[in-house]
């Protein structure tokens, strides 16, 4: 009777498993797509520099550039698409753009007021129309750059001025004459984030399973086993970084730059260290953390902070590895940085946490193995 009852419970579990998997995948997809479907384009930082020297008229002094800058900065609102910041000169702007502090910038020229008056006096003379210079920083976020490249000129043209748009930090797209290759390069960071993270977590799971830690072993044996795991993780993480490069080449037609391989190797290694520790502690814990981090963090690597829903901004974006992987790949692809970049140090923290957890695995007290019924 007891055996029949156990058999019935086992059958029920097997029948319930497909439904549990469907439910789990459904929840995971909901978490992945929720922030994508609730993107809010607001609060994008934009700089403005007025070099306008103004003009003296019989009626009064006129400085149209100063007036425009004051109007734009005074209209800042938390719900506005752009938040304007006034900078003093072009040197300050150049430094800010180099540091990716703003998604875009507007430069008002020295003769803006003079040209505006000339345009009013000679409305048929197109050469008298003042010109504003717009700088789009592709390196801060290609997604935001694409949006601002369309929206910002439309806003500024309402002033009656011409708009000249300049894009900086174009990366490899600047040397590509093919629009397909340009699109492929723009997608490079997105193609790197999810595959690298998934391969790192899955690789860590198989390493943990292949060299399973037994808490019946003493600490010395566990230390040796973890040492072997770490050696294998170094190799698997390198394979993951090379695989991502192959994906980029196959999909976009472009191999990633030489700096991308060591960065992605380091990123994969750091993620694998954290994942390995979780799987060594308990396989279900590692699987749950991997699925949850993948679902929560995918949008944080693809989209800029300002576009994410508030919950993701406050609770997800600051810690998920995908955020830092995306920053690093973007620095390499668009800003021309090396393997050590803005994403490197935070990823090392992730790796350090993984190493600390592995030390916990070693430090846990040994447990006596369970005796079989024949030994009791």
pLDDT digit string (tens) for 277-308?
999 999 999 999 999 999 999 999 889 999 99
For 209, other C-beta atoms within 10 Å of its C-beta total 10
Q: Given 169, 203, 231, which residue is the final one in a domain? A: 169
Decide if 35 is inside a domain: no
Q: Given 111, 135, 169, which residue is the final one in a domain? A: 169
Residue 137 phi/psi, 5-degree rounding, is -95, 100
Decide if 256 is inside a domain: yes
pLDDT tier at 177 (50, 70, 90 boundaries)?
A: very low
What pLDDT sits at residue 256?
A: 86
Return the closest-CA partner of residue 107 out of 168, 60, 30, 42: 168
Indicate whether 93 pLDDT > 60: yes
What pLDDT sits at residue 2?
A: 64
Shared domain check, 164 and 187: no
What pLDDT sits at residue 90?
A: 93
- Structurally, the chain folds into a number of domains equal to 2
What pLDDT sits at residue 374?
A: 37
What pLDDT sits at residue 182?
A: 42
Indicate whether 350 pLDDT > 60: yes
Are the CB atoms for 337 and 329 separated by under 8 Å? no
Indicate whether 159 pLDDT > 70: yes
Shared domain check, 152 and 81: yes
Integer Cα distance of 198 and 283 in angstroms: 16
Rounded percentage of the chain residues whose pLDDT exceeds 70: 89
Shared domain check, 156 and 218: no
Shared domain check, 265 and 186: yes
User: What is the mean predicted confidence (pLDDT) over 164-171?
Assistant: 90
Rounded percentage of the chain residues whose pLDDT exceeds 90: 56
Indicate whether 174 pLDDT > 60: no
Shared domain check, 149 and 229: no
The CATH number of the domain holding residue 100 is 3.40.1710
User: What is the mean predicted confidence (pLDDT) over 337-345?
Assistant: 95
pLDDT tier at 6 (50, 70, 90 boundaries)?
A: low
Shared domain check, 337 and 303: yes
Indicate whether 52 pLDDT > 50: yes
Shared domain check, 160 and 187: no
What pLDDT sits at residue 170?
A: 84
Q: pLDDT, tens digit, for every residue of 181-227?
A: 444 445 656 778 999 999 999 999 999 999 999 888 888 999 999 99
Between 62 and 9, the higher pLDDT residue: 62
Decide if 130 is inside a domain: yes
Decide if 72 is inside a domain: yes
Return the closest-CA partner of residue 39 out of 291, 292, 313, 293: 313
User: What is the mean predicted confidence (pLDDT) over 36-49?
Assistant: 91
Residues sharing a CB contact under 8 Å with residue 58, sequence separation 6 or more, in sequence order: none
Decide if 305 is inside a domain: yes
Shared domain check, 229 and 163: no
**CA 181 → CA 55, 150, 166, 184, 255, distances in Å?**
47, 21, 20, 5, 11
Q: pLDDT, tens digit, for every residue of 27-38?
A: 989 998 999 899
Decide if 38 is inside a domain: no
Decide if 4 is inside a domain: no
pLDDT, mean over the chain: 87
Residues 60-71: b if buried by 16+ CB within 10 A, e if exposed: eebbbbbebbee
Burial class (CB in 10 A: 0-12, 13-18, 19+), 129: middle
Q: Given 107, 137, 169, which residue is the final one in a domain? A: 169
Indicate whether 173 pLDDT > 80: no
Shared domain check, 244 and 159: no
> Which range of residues forms the domain containing residue 296?
180-363
Integer Cα distance of 144 and 302 in angstroms: 11
Shared domain check, 111 and 72: yes
Counting every residue, how long is the chain?
A: 376
pLDDT tier at 50 (50, 70, 90 boundaries)?
A: very high
Integer Cα distance of 273 and 207 in angstroms: 11
Q: pLDDT, tens digit, for every residue of 55-82?
A: 887 777 889 899 999 999 988 887 888 9
Shared domain check, 225 and 275: yes
Integer Cα distance of 133 and 12 in angstroms: 68
Shared domain check, 224 and 339: yes
What pLDDT sits at residue 344?
A: 97
Q: What single-letter DSSP state applies at residue 178?
A: -
Q: pLDDT, tens digit, for every residue of 112-136?
A: 988 888 877 777 666 678 899 999 9
Question: Helix 219-252 crosses helix 179-186 at what angle (to 10 degrees)?
Answer: 160
Decide if 312 is inside a domain: yes
């Amino acid at each position: 009777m007891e055996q029949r009852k156990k058999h019935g419970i086992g059958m029920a579990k097997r029948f319930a498993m497909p439904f549990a998997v469907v439910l789990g995948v459904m929840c995971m997809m909901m978490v992945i797509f929720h922030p994508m479907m609730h993107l809010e384009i607001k609060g994008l930082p934009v700089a403005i520099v007025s070099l306008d020297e103004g003009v003296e008229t019989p009626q009064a002094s006129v400085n149209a550039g100063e007036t425009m800058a004051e109007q734009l900065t005074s209209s800042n609102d938390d719900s506005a698409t752009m938040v304007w910041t006034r900078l003093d000169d072009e040197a300050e702007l150049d430094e800010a753009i180099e540091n990716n502090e703003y998604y875009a910038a507007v430069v008002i020229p020295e003769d803006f007021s003079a040209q505006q008056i000339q345009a009013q006096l000679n409305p048929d003379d197109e050469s008298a129309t003042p010109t504003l210079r717009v700088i789009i920083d592709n390196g801060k976020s290609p997604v935001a750059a694409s949006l601002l490249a369309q929206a910002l000129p439309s806003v500024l043209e309402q002033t009656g001025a011409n708009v000249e748009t300049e894009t900086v930090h174009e990366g490899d797209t600047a040397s590509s004459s093919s629009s397909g290759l340009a699109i492929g390069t723009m997608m490079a960071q997105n193609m790197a984030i999810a595959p690298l993270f998934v391969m790192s977590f899955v690789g860590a799971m198989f390493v943990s399973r292949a060299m399973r830690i037994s808490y019946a072993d003493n600490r010395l044996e566990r230390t040796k086993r973890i040492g072997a795991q770490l050696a294998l993780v170094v190799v698997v993480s390198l394979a993951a970084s090379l695989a991502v490069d192959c994906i980029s080449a196959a999909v976009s037609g472009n191999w990633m730059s030489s700096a991308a391989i060591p960065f992605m190797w380091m990123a994969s290694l750091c993620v694998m260290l954290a994942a390995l520790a979780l799987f060594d502690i308990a396989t279900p814990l590692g699987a749950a953390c991997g699925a949850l981090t993948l679902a929560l963090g995918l949008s944080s690597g693809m989209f800029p902070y300002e576009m994410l829903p508030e919950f993701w901004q406050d609770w997800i974006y600051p810690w998920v590895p995908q955020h830092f992987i995306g920053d690093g790949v973007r620095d390499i692809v668009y800003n021309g940085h090396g393997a050590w970049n803005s994403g490197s140090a935070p990823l090392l923290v992730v790796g350090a946490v993984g190493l600390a957890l592995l030390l916990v695995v070693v430090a846990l007290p040994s447990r006596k193995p369970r005796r079989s019924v024949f030994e009791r």
